[in-house]
């Protein structure tokens, strides 16, 4: 997450091609580490490296699009990225499930290398952007290291508290309470740092200066909170309740992916053609709220804030996704823990303990090894526990709809205004730039 929040500042160093190429290289290096991992600790380290590269790639793609096209046209091209993301989300579980079932899980990481290598070569030779760079040392000095450390520390403490609560430690324990308190205090220090001390804040507070912008951020957060949570927990439901394997559970989420991607494509085309987004912001469906909030905040702010808007949106999205998965997991684990005494009574203590709250998600495959009647008992426990997770996501969907009401109409310019990148990026220039993609 610190990589995402710092991308706006990193953009000042030399602009998109060098940064995005470095991000791809880091991602491929992380994939290689995962593929060769001899143990779980090495796999976790590789995934962390992958995350650094992935954050940079995702942010820089949006920054490039936003800097090349006018506010009105951005929706169409950002819609293409949403379609690509949806296609990857649809194909990824299928390919991953097939590789896990038929080959070896390491192929889930090996497969990234030829694909990523091809993308790296295409960008290296064909994407031409003339940009005023800033020396690396000068650029590094401008990064808000204090702000990045504070916000990452705050998020980690809150996530750990949510993850530990009533699973590892009671909610009333000193560990959980301390994590929550220090997480809140650290977040307050982060806001103070961005407001008073940071010369180049990673999240400029003026991005939240209007009611419409705040509403758009909330729509974006709650939309991804629900959308990614569904993508995460629906496969668990398919495998634990319906008895599907990893491959079939990937097929079961295709309707969600296809519907959201088609909605995102329609909305992007609609915005590009009409310059209006209010009519679709109140629409039903996660895909309809993927791009409009980003367009809203960009329309409100100036061109020099483009990278800051993109990176801050990616940051709040990352937090929403992380909290969604953690909170969903807490609800699921607590419900499975509450159901465990009944499971122990019906299937025995030894088997029942396998499906206790902190083990339930990892023991899905063990359900298929039980006799038929016991399978039904365990699947019902999973069904009841996941039902509360779905209720939680319905509530957050309602919050997203509520904040849509506060989004106001703003003019979507057809003129592409860009900011000077580098150390003097606050100075704006005209609409033309030396850009070539051939």
Q: Evaluate whether 392 touches 327 at the Cβ level (below 8 Å).
A: yes
Kindly state whether residues 355 and 296 are assigned to the same domain: yes
Domain with residue 67: its CATH number is 1.20.1250
Q: Which residues, other chains included, contact 398 with Cβ-Cβ below 8 Å and sequence gap of 6+? A: none
Q: Which of 166, 198, 230 represents a domain boundary (last residue)?
A: 198
pLDDT digits (tens, 9 = 90+) for 255-292: 777 777 777 767 666 666 665 544 444 334 555 566 67
Kindly state whether residues 192 and 334 are assigned to the same domain: no
Question: Is residue 109 included in any domain, yes or no?
Answer: yes
Question: Is residue 34 included in any domain, yes or no?
Answer: yes
Q: Evaluate whether 297 touches 309 at the Cβ level (below 8 Å).
A: yes
Question: Is residue 92 included in any domain, yes or no?
Answer: yes
Question: Is residue 159 included in any domain, yes or no?
Answer: yes
Question: Is residue 99 included in any domain, yes or no?
Answer: yes
Domain range enclosing 50:
2-144+199-409+420-437
Q: State whether residue 203 is helix, strand or coil.
A: coil
Cα 63 to Cα 12: distance, rounded to the nearest angstrom: 12
Question: Is residue 77 included in any domain, yes or no?
Answer: yes
Kindly state whether residues 243 and 304 are assigned to the same domain: yes
Nearest CA to 128 out of 421, 436, 433 is that of 436
pLDDT digits (tens, 9 = 90+) for 285-325: 555 566 677 777 777 777 677 777 777 887 888 888 888 88
pLDDT value, residue 118: 94
Cα 262 to Cα 229: distance, rounded to the nearest angstrom: 19
pLDDT value, residue 215: 87
Kindly state whether residues 61 and 153 are assigned to the same domain: no
| Mean of the per-residue pLDDT values of the chain | 77
Alpha helices in 69-169 (DSSP H): 71-102, 107-110, 112-126, 136-142, 145-164
Cα 223 to Cα 323: distance, rounded to the nearest angstrom: 13
Question: Is residue 414 included in any domain, yes or no?
Answer: no
Total of domains in the chain: 2
Question: Is residue 383 included in any domain, yes or no?
Answer: yes
Kindly state whether residues 140 and 152 are assigned to the same domain: no
pLDDT digits (tens, 9 = 90+) for 203-235: 888 888 888 888 888 888 888 888 888 888 888
pLDDT digits (tens, 9 = 90+) for 154-182: 888 988 888 787 767 887 888 888 999 99
pLDDT digits (tens, 9 = 90+) for 78-108: 777 766 776 676 677 777 777 777 778 888 8
Residue 125 has pLDDT above 50, yes or no: yes
Q: Which of 198, 230, 264 represents a domain boundary (last residue)?
A: 198
């Amino acid at each position: 997450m610190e990589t995402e929040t710092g991308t706006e500042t990193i953009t000042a160093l030399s602009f998109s091609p060098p940064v995005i190429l470095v991000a791809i290289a880091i991602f491929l290096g992380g994939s290689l580490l995962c593929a060769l991992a001899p143990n779980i600790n090495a796999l976790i380290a590789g995934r962390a490296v992958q995350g650094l590269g992935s954050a940079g790639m995702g942010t820089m793609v949006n920054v490039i699009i936003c800097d090349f096209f006018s506010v009105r046209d951005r929706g169409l091209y950002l819609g293409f990225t949403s379609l690509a993301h949806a296609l990857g989300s649809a194909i990824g579980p299928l390919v991953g499930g097939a590789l896990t079932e038929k080959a070896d899980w390491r192929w889930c990481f090996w497969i990234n290398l030829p694909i990523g290598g091809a993308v790296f070569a295409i960008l290296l030779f064909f994407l031409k952007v003339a940009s005023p760079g800033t020396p690396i040392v000068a650029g590094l000095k401008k990064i808000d290291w204090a702000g990045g450390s504070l916000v990452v520390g705050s998020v980690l403490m809150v996530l750990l508290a949510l993850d530990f609560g009533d699973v590892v430690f009671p909610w009333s324990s000193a560990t959980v309470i301390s994590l929550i308190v220090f997480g809140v205090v650290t977040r307050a220090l982060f806001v103070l740092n961005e407001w008073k001390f940071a010369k180049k804040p990673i999240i400029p507070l003026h991005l939240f200066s209007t009611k419409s912008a705040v509403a758009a951020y909330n729509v974006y957060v709650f939309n991804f909170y629900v959308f990614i949570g569904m993508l995460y927990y629906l496969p668990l439901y398919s495998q634990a309740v319906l008895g599907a394997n990893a491959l079939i559970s990937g097929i079961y989420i295709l309707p969600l992916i296809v519907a959201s991607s088609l909605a995102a494509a329609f909305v992007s085309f609609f915005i590009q053609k009409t310059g209006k987004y209010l009519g679709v912001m109140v629409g039903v469906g996660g895909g309809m709220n993927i791009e409009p909030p980003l367009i809203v905040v960009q329309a409100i702010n100036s061109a020099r804030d483009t990278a800051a808007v993109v990176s801050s949106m990616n940051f709040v999205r990352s937090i929403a996704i992380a909290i969604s998965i953690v909170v969903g997991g807490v609800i699921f684990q607590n419900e499975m823990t509450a159901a465990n005494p009944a499971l122990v009574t019906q299937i025995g203590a030894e088997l029942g303990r396998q499906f206790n709250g902190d083990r339930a998600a990892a023991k899905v495959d063990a359900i298929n090894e039980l006799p038929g009647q016991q399978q039904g008992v365990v699947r019902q426990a999973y069904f009841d526990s996941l039902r509360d997770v779905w209720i939680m996501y319905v509530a957050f969907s309602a919050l997203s709809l509520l904040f849509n009401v506060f989004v106001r109409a703003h003019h979507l310019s057809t003129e592409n205004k860009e900011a000077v990148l580098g150390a003097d990026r606050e100075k704006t220039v005209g609409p033309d730039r030396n850009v070539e993609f051939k």
